[in-house]
Amino acid sequence: MHANLDNDGAVSGRFHYRWAPGFVTKVKTRISSQPGSMVTFENEYQGKDFTAGFTAYNPSVLDGGLTGVYIGNYLQAITPRLSLGLETVWQRQAMSVGPESAVSYVARYATPVWIATGQFQGLNQVHLTYWRKIAEKIEAGADCTLMLAGGRGGGMMGRPGREGLANVGVKYEFRTSVFRTMIDSTGKVSCLLERRLAPTVQMTFYGDMDHSKVREARLYYTFVSMLMNCNRTLPSWDAWCLSILPARN
């Protein structure tokens, strides 16, 4: 169990408990006087040839009914390299609005040096990812999201439009630092450099530039000195870089 308090008065905590060798529960919480407080309950079970999980974001029954976001997933190994599964999402932000649900299907093919995944949500969205280990300290990944938008030109006979976004990223590990960079199909380039000065001290540099809006260039410098740095908030693109890495064994 870990917890920390930042200079804005927000309290963040993390709790892990392993019920059995393949069954673990994770709880994450953030309490703040500002908007953004949340709590997450995550349960994951790993069998010999399958993985099942259930996650709840801000679950509550205090409004007279069930609210929050609930996600269930199941991944079954068909062959040593091919796995198939599905994911269901049910959410309700408040009792004044109706619930929403969705089902998506997932495929994963893994080899010792590369991994490819595909996620299909109904008939209007496809998400593809590819990760490859180029060398001992160099990794690269790419993902692409395609969406079938509503008809163009108005009316029922309007032509369906297609929208998409692609990202390509590279990660290089030095002896005491890690460098990540990514570029997307809109022309935005991002870079992140993490350097560990001591076991409890880490320095982070981040910068990005949107070539579609040349005037928008940002540079971030963060000096982190704490026993646990996993609760820091980083740009969403860094979470993407981590998401395409191989699943832990």
Same domain? For 135 and 58 the reply is: no
Same domain? For 81 and 161 the reply is: no
Phi, psi of 243 (to 5 degrees): -70, -25
Query: How many domains does the structure of the chain reveal?
Result: 2
Tokens 């560990």 appear where? 196
DSSP 29-59: EEE-SSS--EEEEEEEEE-SSEEEEEEEEEE
CATH number, domain of 235, equals 2.40.160.10
pTM of the predicted model as reported, rounded to 2 decimal places: 0.66
Whether 115 maps to a domain, the answer reads no
Same domain? For 195 and 232 the reply is: yes
Same domain? For 131 and 82 the reply is: no
Rounded CA gap, 131 and 141, in Å? 4
Rounded CA gap, 159 and 138, in Å? 43
Same domain? For 135 and 16 the reply is: no
Same domain? For 144 and 246 the reply is: yes
62: left (phi over 0), alpha (psi -120 to 50) or beta: alpha
State how far Cα 18 lies from the chain centre.
22
Same domain? For 138 and 104 the reply is: no
Same domain? For 128 and 102 the reply is: no
Same domain? For 144 and 34 the reply is: no
Whether 116 maps to a domain, the answer reads no
Same domain? For 217 and 131 the reply is: yes
Same domain? For 103 and 131 the reply is: no
Q: Which domain holds residue 174?
A: 123-249
| Among 58, 88, 110, residue at a domain's last position | 110
| Among 56, 83, 110, residue at a domain's last position | 110
Query: What is the chain's pLDDT, residue by residue, as a tens digit (249 residues)?
Result: 777 877 777 888 889 999 999 999 999 998 887 777 889 999 999 999 999 999 999 998 888 889 999 999 999 999 999 999 999 999 998 888 889 998 999 999 999 999 999 999 877 889 999 999 999 899 999 999 988 765 554 444 555 567 888 999 999 998 889 999 999 988 888 999 999 888 888 888 988 888 766 554 454 444 443 333 443 444 444 444 444 444 443
